[in-house]
Amino acid sequence: MLTSHLRPGAPGTSAHPLAAMSKETIILDQASAQVLPRCDFRIDYCAATQQGATHAKNEDAHLCRPAIGLFGIADGMGGHAAGDMASRVSLQCIERVLGSADAAAVLERYVRQPDLVERRAVFALLKQAYASANEAVLAAAQRHGGDKGMGSTLDVVLLVRDRAFFAHLGDSRAYLVRPMATLQLTHDHALYDSLQQTGKRISVKRWIKSPLARHIGSTKRQAVDTLFVDLQPGDKIILCTDGAYGALDDECDFGALCEGSAKSVCTSLIEAAVTQGLGDDATVVTLRIGDRFVARAADGGPRAEDIAVALTSPLLCELAPSAALAALQAAVEVELDEGTRIDRAVASDRVAYIVLDGLVQLPSGRTLGASGLLFPESLLDVPMRNELPTTATRARLLRIRHDDFVEVCSHDPALAAGLYQRLARHLATLAASGTG
Mean predicted confidence (pLDDT) in 131-151: 85
Per the model's pLDDT, the better-predicted residue between 338 and 13 turns out to be 338
**51-60, 92-101, 189-198: least confident range:** 189-198
pLDDT band at 14 (very low <50, low <70, confident <90, very high): very low
How many angstroms separate the CA atoms of 310 and 397, rounded?
Answer: 10
**Residue 136 per-residue DSSP state:** H
State which of 265, 292, 319 marks the end of a domain. Answer: 292
Amino acid (one-letter) located at 118: E
pLDDT at 231: 93
**7-16, 18-27, 295-304: least confident range:** 7-16
Closest CA to 66 of 182, 129, 159, 155: 159
pLDDT at 299: 57
Mean predicted confidence (pLDDT) in 339-351: 91
The residues, any chain, with a CB within 8 Å of residue 422's CB and separated by 6 or more, are 314, 315, 316, 317, 319
State whether 231 and 312 are in the same domain: no
pLDDT at 280: 85
State whether 257 and 401 are in the same domain: no
What percent of the chain has a predicted confidence (pLDDT) above 90?
64
The answer, yes or no, to whether residue 253 has pLDDT greater than 70, is yes
State whether 242 and 359 are in the same domain: no
pLDDT at 141: 87
State which of 260, 292, 324 marks the end of a domain. Answer: 292
How many angstroms separate the CA atoms of 291 and 42, rounded?
Answer: 6
pLDDT band at 87 (very low <50, low <70, confident <90, very high): very high
What rounded mean pLDDT belongs to the chain? Answer: 87
Burial of 144 by CB count in 10 Å (0-12 exposed, 13-18 middle, 19+ buried)? middle
pLDDT at 192: 65
Is residue 13 in some structural domain?
A: no
Is residue 269 in some structural domain?
A: yes
Is residue 402 in some structural domain?
A: yes
Mean predicted confidence (pLDDT) in 348-368: 94
State which of 292, 318, 338 marks the end of a domain. Answer: 292
Q: Give whichever of 147-151, 192-196, 199-203, 417-421 has the largest mean pLDDT.
A: 417-421
Domain extent, residue 285, equals 21-292
pLDDT band at 52 (very low <50, low <70, confident <90, very high): confident
pLDDT band at 251 (very low <50, low <70, confident <90, very high): confident
Helices and strands (H, E) in the chain, number of each type: 11, 21
State whether 374 and 272 are in the same domain: no
Burial of 30 by CB count in 10 Å (0-12 exposed, 13-18 middle, 19+ buried)? middle
Domain of residue 416, CATH code = 2.60.120.10
pLDDT at 15: 33
pLDDT at 143: 86
**20-29, 248-257, 425-434: least confident range:** 20-29
Question: What's the structural domain count of the chain?
Answer: 2
Query: Which residues pair with residue 50 across a beta bridge?
Result: 282
Domain of residue 48, CATH code = 3.60.40.10
State whether 243 and 381 are in the same domain: no
State whether 346 and 388 are in the same domain: yes
The answer, yes or no, to whether residue 405 has pLDDT greater than 90, is yes
Whether residue 284 contacts residue 278, with contact meaning beta carbons closer than 8 Å, is answered with no
Closest CA to 411 of 226, 178, 224: 178
How many angstroms separate the CA atoms of 245 and 256, rounded?
Answer: 12
Q: Give whichever of 142-146, 222-226, 233-237 has the largest mean pLDDT.
A: 233-237
* Cα dihedral 126, 128, 131, 137 in deg (nearest 10): -80
How many angstroms separate the CA atoms of 230 and 161, rounded?
Answer: 9
**66-70, 248-252, 306-310, 341-345: least confident range:** 248-252
> DSSP letters of 282-334?
EEEEEEEEEEE----PPP-SHHHHHHHHHTTSTTTTTS-HHHHHHHGGGEEEE
CA distances from residue 290 to 27, 36, 40, 236, 309 in whole angstroms, order as listed: 21, 12, 10, 9, 29
Query: Which residues pair with residue 159 across a beta bridge?
Result: 164
How many angstroms separate the CA atoms of 101 and 109, rounded?
Answer: 13
State whether 278 and 307 are in the same domain: no
pLDDT at 200: 63
Is residue 63 in some structural domain?
A: yes
Is residue 135 in some structural domain?
A: yes
Residue-wise pLDDT for 152-207, tens only, equals 999 999 999 999 999 999 999 999 999 888 999 998 888 766 555 665 665 555 54
